[in-house]
């Protein structure tokens, strides 16, 4: 029988992917990590990791990210695996559940990789049916993640972004925007990464993923490999900035799966994502205020709002405020906090 956990909502701020080398440190140090995401398939057994995650679930909001449902499989979703995912959700009571727009099972084999779909009406009908099956079984909305791809199908009749938008309309699913995947696919298949993001329905974006990728040179071909094995590169941060500009703050995950570094590196990347988001939102509010006020009133810089001490001012936002001649930080800070709560 599953235990009852306190409901912990995932905030519109950064979290980290929980990886086994960090579990002991997470349990002992309990660092400020925002929230955690785990791969569902790693917690379908009864090993020590499962016991540890139960303890961490008491402290951190949790997202369950599945990699094995194969939502794009023409044969449908494996009911046994879906039942295992349902049990994981029942056991850990996550706030978010997500999967990929991909297939990994065919001909009786699980390929342990995420393969792209041919984006057409036939695939859309199949994926929509599979997503509905998952949502009906889990009795909740799931977020569907865009894919990193190295090939596409010549006979596709729509783009991946159009496919995702239509999937949202048909099934009511949400979207997990993997910004690194956008960069990898856009480079490899030669399309405009920002246009991809702009084509997604903003209200459906429930989570963002950030990660690093590798650059391989094979002959004349330079291909980006989605290996989750390094820091988030500047080009992905720039794309993330574009996404936040468009969608506002969203729960954002730092993923790192190969050559996993010490925990503090992941926490540092998460902190950077938070600072970048806060800085974007702060600047946006300042710009809006400048537009509204022809002659803004100078207000002294003050980090306390109505007598309450506020210590959550992100460093980048504070730097931006210190550099800006006006207007009031206290008013702008209030707006940032409002944004966070709305998005959460």
Partner 1 sequence: MLPLEHLQTTMARSVLAIEPLVSAKMLTAGKADPLARLRIYQNNTRSSLTAALMAVFPVTVQLIDERFFRYVASEFIRRYPPVEPRLPRYGAGFPRFLKTIDTLSDMPIVAETARLEWAIAEALDTASLPPRSLAEYDNTDLGLSPDILLQPSLRLVVSHWSILSVWMAHQQETAVDESITWTRRPERVALWRSGNYVRLFLLDRASFAFWHSLKHGFGLEHATGRALALDPAFDLVSALVRLFRDRLVTNVRVAANSPSN
- Residue 291 CB, nearest approach to partner 1 (Å): 41
Residues 115 and 151: their CA atoms lie apart, in Å, by: 9
Six-digit token pair at 344? 């959460």
- The pair of three-digit structure tokens given for residue 67, joined into one six-digit string: 């990699």
In the bound complex, what is the minimum distance in angstroms from residue 265's beta carbon to partner 1? 21
Binding site for partner 1 (CB under 8 A): 41-42, 44-48, 51, 67-70, 72-75, 78, 80-81, 84, 103-113, 115, 117-118, 122-123, 126, 150-155, 188-190, 218-219, 221, 223, 225
How far apart, in Å, are the Cα atoms of 167 and each of 7, 120, 180? 29, 12, 21
What's the number of CA atoms in the CB half-sphere (13 Å) around residue 167?
37
Smallest distance from the beta carbon of 121 to partner 1, in angstroms?
A: 11
Q: Which is nearer to partner 1, 83 or 264 (CB)?
A: 83
Closer residue to partner 1, CB minimum distance, 164 or 332: 164
Q: CB nearer to partner 1: give 228 or 285.
A: 228
H-assigned helices in 218-262: 234-247
In this complex, which beta carbon is closest to partner 1, that of residue 187 or of residue 334? Answer: 187
Residue 284's Cβ-count burial label (10 Å; 0-12, 13-18, 19+) is middle
Measured CA to CA, the distance from residue 19 to residue 256 in angstroms comes to 8
CB of 271 to partner 1, least distance (A): 29
Indicate the residue among 151 and 294 with the shorter CB distance to partner 1: 151
Least distance (Å) from partner 1 to the CB of residue 59? 19
The owner of tokens 């599953």 is 2
């Amino acid at each position: 029988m599953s235990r009852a956990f306190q409901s912990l909502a995932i905030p519109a701020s950064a979290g980290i992917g929980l990886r086994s080398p960090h579990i002991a440190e997470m349990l002992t140090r309990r660092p400020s990590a925002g929230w955690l995401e785990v791969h569902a398939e790693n917690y379908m057994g009864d090993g020590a990791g499962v016991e540890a995650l139960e303890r961490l679930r008491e402290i951190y909001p949790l997202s369950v990210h599945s990699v094995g449902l194969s939502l794009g499989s023409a044969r449908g979703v494996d009911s046994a695996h879906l039942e295992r995912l349902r049990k994981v959700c029942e056991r850990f009571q996550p706030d978010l559940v997500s999967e990929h727009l991909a297939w990994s099972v065919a001909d009786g084999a699980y390929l342990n990789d995420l393969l792209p779909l041919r984006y057409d009406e036939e695939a859309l009908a199949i994926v929509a049916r599979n997503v509905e099956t998952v949502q009906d079984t889990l009795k909740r909305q799931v977020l569907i993640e865009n894919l990193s791809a190295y090939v596409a199908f010549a006979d596709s009749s729509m783009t991946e972004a159009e496919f995702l938008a239509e999937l949202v309309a048909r099934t009511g699913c949400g979207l997990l925007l993997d910004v690194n995947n956008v960069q990898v696919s856009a480079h490899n298949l030669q399309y405009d990464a920002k246009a991809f993001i702009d084509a997604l329905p903003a209200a459906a974006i429930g989570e963002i993923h950030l990660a690093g990728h590798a650059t391989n040179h094979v002959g004349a071909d330079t291909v980006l490999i989605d290996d989750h094995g390094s820091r988030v590169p500047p080009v992905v941060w720039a794309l993330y900035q574009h996404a936040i500009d468009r969608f506002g703050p969203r729960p954002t995950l730092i993923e790192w799966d190969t050559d996993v570094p010490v925990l503090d590196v992941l926490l540092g990347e998460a902190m950077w994502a938070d600072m970048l988001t806060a800085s974007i939102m702060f600047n946006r509010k300042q710009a809006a205020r400048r537009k509204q006020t022809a002659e803004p009133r100078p207000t002294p810089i003050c980090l306390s709002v109505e007598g309450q001490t506020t210590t959550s001012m992100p460093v980048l936002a504070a730097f931006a405020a210190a550099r800006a001649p006006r207007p009031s930080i206290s008013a702008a800070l209030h707006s940032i906090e409002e944004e966070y709560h709305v998005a959460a």
